[in-house]
Amino acid sequence: MFRLSSVSSKLLLSVAISVILAIALMIAIVSFQVASYSEKEAKDTILLSSKRYVNYIQGILNEEVTLTKGVATSLNEMFQNNDHVDIDLIESLIKNTFDSSHYAAYTFLYLKDTTVLSDMQNVDKKYISPDGKTFSMIFFDQIAEKSGGITTISTPNNFSQLNLIQNIEQNAKYGDKDSVFVGSPRKLNYDNNEFLGINFGMPIFNNKGKFIGVIGYTIDLLEISETILDPKFDFFEGDLRFLMNDQGIIAIHKNKNAILKTLFDINKDQSAQLIVEAVKNHKDEILDNYIASTGDLSYASISSFSTLGNSSHWSVIVTAPKKSVLAPLYKLQYIIISVAIIALIAILAVVYFFIRKIIGSRIPLILKSLENFFRFLNHEKIEVQTIEIKANDELGKMGKIINEN
């Protein structure tokens, strides 16, 4: 079909194909460069974001580790040097140290053996559970960011069954002054006010090396959650930020139904296994093709960290949907294609005009003149007419030669 087309049609088609190929190549190159840049920027952004949250959370957790270790050391020295310790002295130590914390919501001293205390007759009734079987000092800080505001919480009957206390009693080793026990995130309830928190604790021993209790701190994850999940920190539409411990338990997540579940509970995609493995192995990773729990193909950054003394291990995961990351690219592609179509139409219109004007309208005249000329040579009776010369180009010179002959 191309061979049967006119010269002007062939020229027009050739120009159109060339322009289309050039524009397509330009779009491909620009898209590749923009996609590469957008991908790099997204990875850098979520990596920096996860690292920033690590610094924030690690600072909070390490504060509680330090406070727990400091108070535990002081209490152990008291009990090791004395058969009986004044309860007011213990209360003063715990309250004053607790008041210096910026993030702890509760502190507690559980004593399994109260014979180490003096003057038990005048003890605050809130320290003893209603059934009389449990002794604990539990304090709540109403204004953690300022000094003061510390109130006493009544000891519940089941306080000794607190997971952290049970764990310490079973695993504590006498003489170990460095190991701080950090509990998994869980729902806690000290004063009929349920909240999501993390416990920190260390064992207390008497002067005979016998386990007698636990000193601990509790943080409420609400403040940390509000900071991490604050919408003003969203870099991309649909991004996710969440905190996990190395057991795979989610402590903070935008989806409230994901709290205290594992990643596999909310995300059945195989790509979730890559995050779980990185978290359990305490590694930092960046994933290119993670399918988030929302179903979005995403980039994901895993930043792992440990609290002081490797007392606990955590990971902050930040994801960014590719459709959001590459949205500027898609917009740019749309603009380029739109401009390219307009430019293509304009170019073809101009080319069509000049081809029709310069070639399309003149070649048929020369062709007709040549046909008449050869018919004249064949002694056919025809009326020979000269060609009107409009330009002194190749076609014009051809017309002159025909006219002269």
Which CATH number does the domain 60-222 belong to among 1.10.30.50, 1.10.1270.20, 3.30.450.20, 3.30.70.1350? 3.30.450.20
Residue 110, strand partner residues:
136, 214
pLDDT score at 366? 61
pLDDT for 2 equals 46
pLDDT tens-place values along the chain, 405 residues long:
445 456 667 777 887 788 888 888 888 888 788 778 878 887 888 899 899 999 999 999 999 999 999 999 999 999 998 888 999 999 999 999 998 888 999 999 999 998 898 877 778 899 999 998 899 999 998 876 677 789 999 999 889 999 999 999 999 888 888 889 999 999 999 888 889 999 999 999 998 889 999 999 999 999 899 999 998 888 888 899 999 999 999 999 999 999 999 999 999 899 999 999 999 999 999 999 999 988 899 999 999 999 999 999 999 999 999 888 888 778 887 888 888 888 888 888 887 777 766 665 556 666 666 666 666 666 665 665 665 555 555 555 565 666 556
Q: What pLDDT does residue 51 have?
A: 93
What residue segments make up the domains of the chain, in order of their start? 60-222, 362-405
Does the pTM exceed 0.85?
no
What is the pLDDT at residue 4?
A: 44
- Distance of alpha carbon 66 from alpha carbon 59, whole angstroms: 10
318 burial (CB, 10 Å; 0-12 / 13-18 / 19+) is buried
What is the distance between the alpha carbons of residues 184 and 199, in angstroms, rounded to a whole number?
Answer: 8
Residue with tokens 């709290």: 259
DSSP letters for 318-371:
EEEEHHHHTHHHHHHHHHHHHHHHHHHHHHHHHHHHHIIIIIITTHHHHHHHHH
CB of 250 closer than 8 Å to CB of 258: yes
CB 201 within 8 A of CB 181: yes
Q: What are the backbone angles phi and psi of residue 241, rounded to the nearest 5°?
A: -135, 125
pLDDT score of 382 = 63
Question: In angstroms, rounded to a whole number, what is the distance separating the alpha carbons of residues 233 and 235?
Answer: 6
pLDDT at 142: 83
Do 15 and 347 meet the contact criterion of CB atoms below 8 Å apart?
Answer: yes
User: Max alpha carbon distance in the chain (Å)?
Assistant: 145
Distance CA(123)–CA(116), nearest Å, equals 13
